[in-house]
């Protein structure tokens, strides 16, 4: 069987949180973000506005842009996206992209995501073979794919905002990009 590495414990912790959660909503961020003061309220409101959404992802903006590497990630590579209107991703999204593959990474970023607790009973938990310390990333995208493929929906809502601390130096950014490409491939 698969044994998670020390670096992969965040995914083990996420799944442990899911197993022990008794509330109807679960929200996740990464350790390199700062949540907006309205993050919790906007997350709850997003689910209320779209009762059919199983997941909500929010906008991830840069916390600072002090270094050349941070600016390159944000402006040249597109950062974590910059949509400013809500978008609903459901089976129509998958069907429209069958020819090129399900580009579920367009839904959002795992640094800012929330779920209805009940969706994990339908589609399972995060795949611990993916993510930091394993494949590099994409445990979030893979879960979003399973949600949509099972008939669910994911909502991107930019009012749900976090500020991400991009890698400040070139070696850190290169390592992050390698992990992202490895994870997307997996």
d(CA 11, CA 140): 10
Q: What is the largest CA-CA distance in the chain?
A: 44
> The whole model's pTM is what?
0.88
Q: What pLDDT shows up at residue 13?
A: 81
The H or E element spanning position 78 is none
Q: What pLDDT shows up at residue 77?
A: 92
Mean pLDDT computed over 44-69: 97
CA angle 54/139/96 to nearest 5° reads 60
Confidence of residue 5 (pLDDT cuts 50, 70, 90): very low
């Amino acid at each position: 069987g698969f044994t998670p590495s020390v670096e992969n414990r965040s995914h083990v912790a996420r799944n442990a949180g899911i197993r022990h959660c008794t509330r109807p909503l679960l929200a996740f961020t990464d350790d390199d973000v700062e949540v907006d003061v309205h993050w919790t309220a906007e997350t709850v409101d997003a689910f209320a506005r779209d009762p059919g959404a199983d997941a909500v992802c929010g906008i991830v903006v840069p916390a600072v842009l002090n270094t050349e590497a941070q600016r390159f990630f944000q402006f040249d590579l597109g950062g974590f996206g910059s949509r400013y209107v809500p978008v609903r991703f459901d089976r129509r999204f998958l069907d429209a992209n069958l020819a090129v593959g399900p580009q579920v990474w367009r839904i959002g970023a795992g640094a800012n995501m929330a779920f209805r607790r009940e969706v994990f009973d339908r589609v399972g938990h995060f795949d611990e073979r993916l993510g930091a310390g394993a494949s590099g990333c994409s445990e979030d995208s893979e879960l979003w794919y399973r949600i949509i493929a099972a008939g669910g929906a994911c909502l991107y809502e930019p009012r749900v905002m976090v500020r991400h601390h991009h890698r400040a130096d070139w070696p850190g950014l290169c390592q992050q990009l390698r992990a992202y490409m490895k994870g997307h491939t997996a």
